[in-house]
Structure 1
Amino acid sequence: MKNIVGLFILIFLFCLNLNAQKATFLTSGKINFERKDNVYYCLSMLLKDEQGNWVEDYLDRYKKPENHFATTNWILYFDKNITNYMSDPDIINKDATPYFISANVENTVYMDLQNKQQIRNAHLFENGYLLKDSIQNIKWKLTSETKEIAGIICKRANALIMDSIYVVAFYTDQIPTQGGPEIFNGLPGMILGVALPYDHISWFATKITVLTPSKEDLKYPQKGKIFTTKEMVADLMDPLKNRGNTARNLILKNLQL
């Protein structure tokens, strides 16, 4: 009888050990993301201050439901403290999309999470900028809601950025790196999904690959004139100050400020 009880205890402890091993899911790897922009909505907002028949003519090409959304494909390489987010070199979606989306696929976002620093390539109006700045501090509110993304159950969090933009994010603590696509970070695990409901933009992981990123995969961008984000926006706004809100909105859409 003692042998049987001992056997059950061993089996129980073995199962606990398996569950403990599963709890640490991934400390480095590659995540494929899809970003979707509602082109018609975004263009309507960007051009709302413009005058002339050309505005309606330009919007007409995106009025059909099948043309509403533009999808771009991205890769996030990560290890414990570094993330590097860039366009997927195998799927560059620059055709048949407006400038503010097609230019964005050239951007790269590198984050040093331990030192809370970011280095970003930003391409706007055929200018290349190298932004070196601190990581944006996002004040998240955790919730009990969950959603399955790329085969993983993720937890929901909400936040406001730029004081008014509502953000919904889904993260997993099975990947302890506290990063995510674009500028999004700061949750207790990797962010696998983000939506800006009122701006009609979303980022969702489609595939997670277990691998050790190479030095090249985690190499920070180096080309471009060095600016802080504030300095770059001021540099861009000066020659465009007579263009009203359209220019400002275009810049902010590209940078996700």
Structure 2
Amino acid sequence: MKNLIILTTCIIALGSSAVFAQNKHFTMNGTIEFEKTVNMFAFFEKQINKNNEDFLRSAFDSYKKTQPQFKKLKSTLTFANNKTMFTPIESDAPDNGFFGESPVVNQVNTIADDLTTGLSINQKKVFEQNFLVKDTLRKINWKITSETREIAGFTCRRANALVMDSIYVVAFYTDDIAVPGGPESFTGLPGMILGLALPHENVTWFATKVNEVPVDDKALAPPKKGKVVNNQQLAATLKNVMKDWGTYANAYLKAFIL
């Protein structure tokens, strides 16, 4: 009799779970508002070395007295039919003076991803020139953890990864948005990435609002303007342009390719 009661309880519990899963709502289309935050003090500090310290240290001290520590930039991610379009919103804020042209402290990518075919088209602004980078989606070896946090009203699970051999990435995704996309070039988790951090680069992207709305196909149309290249060709071009830049070349190259 006791075993029968236990069996009956299990069947009821399983049945309830199945009904809950069937009734659970998944967001499949809409727009996400993101805020990118750059810790300018930390970024500036990293540019100081023994070769430029006499000048940059005093410049940094003056910078901290007149400029905010965090630079904030807005962007949107539109999604539907397993496609996404990441679009920066132009800022009227000043370029923060020093290192204002650095891709780390700006937004240089407008990216259309087709998550079904695995194709990514990125209109990348490199100083005054636009490139149209057509290539496959970045393959990221994510390691999902048990840690969770709330972002824009969604419970998100943490995942960690290493990209470009040295850049540590922390992402928070929700499977309530059943699209494996995310901001910038980060995709490949079992749901939408709503939070992203590059701790050692002092940069984060976090969703501030998710709008479940119908999305027109035109809103997902890939960008078309720019010199067409793939990732390998872009890297070769940038290395050639920056070959005489010394130590600054590596930081710019990494940021543009990211």
TM-score scaled by length of structure 1: 0.84
1:128-149, Cα deviation, whole Å (9 max, x unpaired): 1110111110001111110000
> May I ask how many residue pairs the two structures share in their alignment?
241
The answer to whether structure 1 residue 250 and structure 2 residue 252 are counterparts is yes
Q: What displacement does 1:31 show?
A: 0.2
Structure 1 residues 44 and 129: CA distance shift in structure 2, 3 A: farther
User: In 1, distance between residues paired with 2:17 and 2:234?
Assistant: 55
Q: What displacement does 1:25 show?
A: 2.2
- Counterpart of 1:220, as a letter, is P
Residue number in structure 2 paired with 1:186: 188
Conserved? CA contact 2:103–2:252, under 8 Å: no
User: In 1, distance between residues paired with 2:66 and 2:170?
Assistant: 24
Let me know the Cα RMSD of the aligned residues: 2.5
User: In 1, distance between residues paired with 2:25 and 2:62?
Assistant: 48
Residue number in structure 1 paired with 2:10: none
Residues 19-38 of structure 1: pairs in structure 2 closer than 5 A: 20-21=22-23, 23-38=24-39
**Structure 2 unaligned spans of 5+:** 1-14
Q: What displacement does 1:212 show?
A: 1.6
Conserved? CA contact 1:124–1:251, under 8 Å: no
- Counterpart of 2:155, as a letter, is I
Conserved? CA contact 1:34–1:204, under 8 Å: yes
Q: What displacement does 1:237 show?
A: 1.8
Residue number in structure 1 paired with 2:143: 141
The answer to whether structure 1 residue 122 and structure 2 residue 121 are counterparts is no
Q: What displacement does 1:231 show?
A: 1.1
Residue number in structure 2 paired with 1:220: 222
Q: What displacement does 1:80 show?
A: 3.1
1:30-59, Cα deviation, whole Å (9 max, x unpaired): 000000111222233346486375534543
Q: Which moved more, 1:67-76 or 1:57-66?
A: 57-66
Structure 1 residues 102 and 95: CA distance shift in structure 2, 3 A: farther
Residue number in structure 1 paired with 2:95: 96
Conserved? CA contact 2:154–2:174, under 8 Å: yes
Kindly, what percent of the aligned residue pairs are identical? Answer: 36
